[in-house]
C-alpha cells in the first residue's frame, strides 16, 4: 500500500492522478487557455514551469514570479491544484507561497540544500528521478527529504539516459514496481520527458497505469508548433482529452503488500 499524499483534495496513492499543463508558463492567456482544457479533460492537477532549466543558455528561461501568479490564478479559476518546479533555494519562500506542490527536477535530485529546505517544510514534493540516477539513489533522496520531517513525497520517473537515441530518454517502467517494492512512496511517470515524442506519450501513459503507477504528468499545449519549450513532446489539448478517457478506462495493476 502506498502512503497517501493529499494535495488540496487530490490524493496520490488513493486515485490515479493525471497532472497536465504546458512545459512553461508563457503568458497569462496561454496558461488560462490550457488550464481550461486540462479541467475539461478530467485531469486533476495543473503543471507549468516558471524557472526553466534549459540545456542551452539561449533558450527561454521562464517568466519567474509573474508566471507563478498566472499559474496560481489559472489553478484557482478552474479548481486545479498546481505544481511547479523550484530550482534555487533562494526562491523557496516565493514558490511555496504560490504553489500546492513543489517539483524538484531531474537535474536537482541530489541538490541537498534544496532538498533540506523542502524537508524542513510540510509542502508536498514531486521528486523527479535524476536522469543518471539509480532507483536506490532516487529513494535515498526521498528519504533525505523525509529525515527533516516532511512525509509528503511523491516520486516521478521521467526517463534515464541510455544508448537509445530514438527517444529523448528511456522511460524506465521497471523502476515503478522496484521503487514501490522498496518503499511506500506513490510513484508517477512523466511520459513527455520520458520519450520526448508526442506520439509516444499515450502508449507510455497506458503502460504506466498498467504497471501500477499512481499517476502521470503530461505536457500539453494549445499550439505545440509555437511552444517556447518542449513543443515536440506536447500533446494538443484535444489529444489530452482522449488520453484521459483511455487511461480512466484501464484498470491498474494491483500490487501485493510488497513485491521486492
Ligand atoms: C519539467 O517537468 O518541466 C522538467 C524540466 O522535467 P525534468 O526535470 O524531468 O527534465
Ligand atoms: Mn518540459
Q: What is the pLDDT of residues 82-106, one digit of tens each?
A: 999 999 999 999 999 999 999 999 9
Q: 152-174 pLDDT, tens per residue?
A: 999 999 999 999 999 999 999 99
The rounded distance, in Å, linking the Cα atoms of 243 and 120 is 37
SS3 136: helix
With pLDDT > 70 as the criterion, what percentage of the chain qualifies?
98
Q: What is the average per-residue pLDDT within 170-182? A: 97
Q: What is the average per-residue pLDDT within 38-64? A: 94
pLDDT for 257: 60
pLDDT for 260: 53
CA of residue 41 relative to chain centroid, distance: 17
The rounded distance, in Å, linking the Cα atoms of 103 and 125 is 6
Burial of 170 (0-12, 13-18, 19+ CB in 10 A): middle
Q: What is the average per-residue pLDDT within 148-155? A: 98
Please say whether the beta carbons of 141 and 110 come within 8 A.
Answer: yes
Question: Which of 104, 158, 188 to probe ligand 1 with, by most ligand atoms within 8 A of CB?
Answer: 158
Q: Is the pLDDT of residue 24 over 90?
A: yes
Ligand nearest to the CA of 217: 1
Q: What is the average per-residue pLDDT within 111-117? A: 97
Q: Is the pLDDT of residue 108 over 90?
A: yes
Pseudo-torsion of CA 217, 15, 241, 252, nearest 10°? 90
pLDDT for 54: 82
The closest-lying atom of ligand 1 relative to the alpha carbon of residue 131 is: 9
Task: State whether the beta carbon of 168 lies less than 6 angstroms from ligand 1.
Answer: no
Q: 230-250 pLDDT, tens per residue?
A: 999 999 999 999 999 999 999
Q: How confident is the model at residue 255 (pLDDT cuts 50, 70, 90)?
A: confident
Q: What is the average per-residue pLDDT within 216-222? A: 98
- E strands within 72-142? 82-85, 101-104, 125-128
Q: Is the pLDDT of residue 259 over 60?
A: no
Strand partners, 84: 102
The closest-lying atom of ligand 1 relative to the alpha carbon of residue 107 is: 8
Q: Is the pLDDT of residue 258 over 90?
A: no
Task: State whether the beta carbon of 105 lies less than 6 angstroms from ligand 1.
Answer: yes
Please say whether the beta carbons of 42 and 16 come within 8 A.
Answer: no
Residue 82 in grid coordinates: 498546481
Amino acid at each position: 500500500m502506498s502512503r497517501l499524499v493529499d494535495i488540496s483534495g487530490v490524493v496520490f496513492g488513493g486515485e490515479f492522478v493525471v497532472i497536465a499543463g504546458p512545459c512553461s508558463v508563457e503568458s497569462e492567456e496561454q496558461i488560462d487557455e490550457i488550464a481550461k482544457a486540462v479541467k475539461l479533460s478530467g485531469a486533476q492537477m495543473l503543471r507549468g514551469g516558471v524557472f526553466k532549466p534549459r540545456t542551452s543558455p539561449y533558450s527561454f528561461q521562464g517568466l519567474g514570479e509573474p508566471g507563478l501568479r498566472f499559474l496560481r490564478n489559472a489553478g484557482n479559476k478552474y479548481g486545479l491544484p498546481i505544481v511547479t518546479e523550484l530550482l534555487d533555494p533562494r526562491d523557496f519562500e516565493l514558490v511555496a507561497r504560490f504553489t500546492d506542490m513543489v517539483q524538484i527536477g531531474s537535474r536537482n535530485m541530489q541538490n541537498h540544500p534544496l532538498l533540506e529546505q523542502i524537508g524542513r517544510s510540510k509542502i508536498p514534493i514531486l521528486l523527479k528521478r535524476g536522469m543518471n540516477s539509480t532507483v536506490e539513489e532516487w529513494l535515498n533522496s526521498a528519504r533525505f527529504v523525509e529525515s527533516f520531517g516532511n512525509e509528503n513525497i511523491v516520486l516521478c520517473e521521467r526517463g534515464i539516459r541510455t544508448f537509445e537515441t530514438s527517444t529523448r530518454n528511456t522511460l524506465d517502467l521497471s523502476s515503478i514496481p522496484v521503487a514501490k517494492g522498496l518503499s511506500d512512496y506513490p510513484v508517477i511517470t512523466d511520459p513527455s520527458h520520458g520519450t520526448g515524442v508526442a506520439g509516444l506519450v499515450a502508449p507510455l501513459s497506458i503502460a504506466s497505469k498498467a504497471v501500477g503507477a499512481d499517476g502521470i504528468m503530461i505536457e500539453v499545449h494549445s499550439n505545440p508548433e509555437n511552444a517556447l519549450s518542449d513543443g515536440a513532446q506536447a500533446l494538443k489539448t484535444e489529444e489530452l482529452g482522449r488520453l484521459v478517457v483511455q487511461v480512466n478506462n484501464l484498470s491498474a495493476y494491483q500490487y501485493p503488500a510488497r513485491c521486492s
